[in-house]
Amino acid sequence: MSDTATQQNHAVNGEANLAAPPLVPPPKLRRRPTIVAGAIAAVCLGAVLAAWAWSSSTSTQQVLVATAEIPRGSVIEAEDLTTARLNVDSAVAVLPASAADDVIGQRAALDVAAGGLLTPDLVQEGSIPASGESLVGVALKPEQAPGERLMAGDLVRVVVTPGQDGETPKIAPEFSAAEVVGIHHDSETGQTVVDLLVPHAEASLLAARVATGNVALVLDSRDR
């Protein structure tokens, strides 16, 4: 073979080698199990947080809250109540804000702390005075009442006392049993006006005894 033919063969072979480079397989991607598991956990956590946020926003409600302490047995007034939007557990029975008109005028069955939620068991149904009952107001000087602060719901006795010139009775004095419903302090006179709940038939007798001014109020045991 001539030199010219040999050079032509080398040129052809060179062009073939340049036109068809050898095939290289693509690199294999390695999947890391920890990264995959972390991604799945992040997705699940996001779904849980979204569900919790939606549940929290939809379960809040307007409820009745006490603006100040409401003693047991006292009449619930409009100024004793306010409303608040809270997230309340469904297992807790609360009074919604819409029940305010039904609660006002009722009596507190238990002591309600300031800021406390009102629940159905804290409200005693029935107006005051109820049928067959009467309210009698008693104005007392400091020496006519016990030093212990009176509270609504206290059971007391209004005892007839002798006048300033009277003799000490030799037998137990007469008295009227009653329940304290409200207490009001008169800063001008220094007297305490106590609203007493008594049976209707005894109201006139108690009022007559109080009118003389010769009475003393006795607080009985608070143990029920």
105 against 35, higher pLDDT: 105
One domain for residues 119 and 165: no
Mean pLDDT of 136-144: 92
Q: Which amino acid is at 136?
A: V
48 against 116, higher pLDDT: 116
Max avg pLDDT among 53-62, 70-79, 93-102, 198-207: 198-207
Does the pTM surpass 0.85? The reply is no
Last-in-domain residue among 124, 153, 171: 124
Last-in-domain residue among 124, 142, 157: 124
- Domain count for the chain, please give it: 2
One domain for residues 105 and 139: no
| DSSP-derived secondary structure for 166-195 | PPPPSSPPPEEEEEEEEEEE-TTT--EEEE
One domain for residues 156 and 97: no
Mean pLDDT of 129-152: 89
For residue 150, is it within any domain?
yes
pLDDT in tens, 81-94: 999 988 877 777 88
Last-in-domain residue among 103, 124, 145: 124
Mean pLDDT of 37-57: 63
User: Residue 91 sits in a domain of what CATH number?
Assistant: 3.90.1210.10
Counting Cβ atoms within 10 Å, is residue 111 exposed (0-12), middle (13-18) or buried (19+)? middle
Max avg pLDDT among 11-25, 162-176, 197-211: 197-211
Give the domain range for residue 64.
Answer: 59-124
Q: Which pLDDT score is estimated for 41?
A: 66
Tell me the pairing of strands 192-199 and 215-219: unpaired
